[in-house]
Structure 1
Amino acid sequence: LARLGCCLVNYPEETLMPGETRPTLNRSKGIHDLTFRHRDNLVNALKTGTLTIRAITSDVARARLITSKDPIIIGEAPSHRSIHSRGRRMFADGDIDRKGPRRLPSPPATPSTHSATPSTHPATPATAPPHSATPATRRRVQVFVEIS
């Protein structure tokens, strides 16, 4: 990935990263290390567009990937129920750390009762997020996974 100038973003949290070994195996066997549930996680993340491939075009940024100063795989943020406070990152040299995206916040509590009287405060309109000066480009990528 690093030599090609690519970075994977939002790799599924509960899925082995490339090169990781399943605890029940002595050595890595590539995609065969993944259980069917983990393969489904990976395929679904690719199909839904959650897992994206970011092209790194700068020579300096590509050199940082190759020398393992920047991660080539950035995992998704752990759910609010996770024991981990941050997501995983993997580097070109195979090192994996937990300094990725922060854990997702807990969802707000749902009110148990609704007030019968209307609110006296007018609803404030939601503000739109600011738009970037350079719009992000998205490309459709076809992924073929063969399970034997």
Structure 2
Amino acid sequence: MTDQKLFTNTVLIPADATRVHATLTNPQNLLKWVPEITAVDPEINVFVITRTRTAINQHEVLTVTGNATTVTYTSREGRLPYQLVFTIVGQASQTLLQETLFVPHNTGLPLTLLSPIAKQALKQNLEMLAILLRRPAMPD
């Protein structure tokens, strides 16, 4: 499967990079910043995602990988397999977060039409993440 870059969104988050990274690497946190997601069920090394609203991927299986500066969500078993790559750049007490969506070349879907819709939806989710992380961290 050869992937193509569909788009990139960027947001500046008033939280340190460690907190942003920790939030992204735990898919259970998606319930806090992606309003369409109603369930994140952990299974062995993957998470099953369920959405309430009509979406290209109503259900999908998500794998999370990464390192200190990158977190990658790899989705499969939905209508549109994808990789959403988050690049984390710490800047003092804030973080520049960039998300880039990669999809296969041969999806069978009208990507020219879907791309601006998906870009806007993911940008809104990214802004919700920034709002969530503006709040003080809750103690464990």
Question: Normalised by the size of structure 1, how large is the TM-score?
Answer: 0.26
- Structure number with the higher helix fraction is 2
- Structure number with the higher strand fraction is 2
Q: Whose radius of gyration is greater, 1 or 2?
A: 1
- Greater length-normalized contact order (CA 8 Å, ≥ 6 residues apart): 2
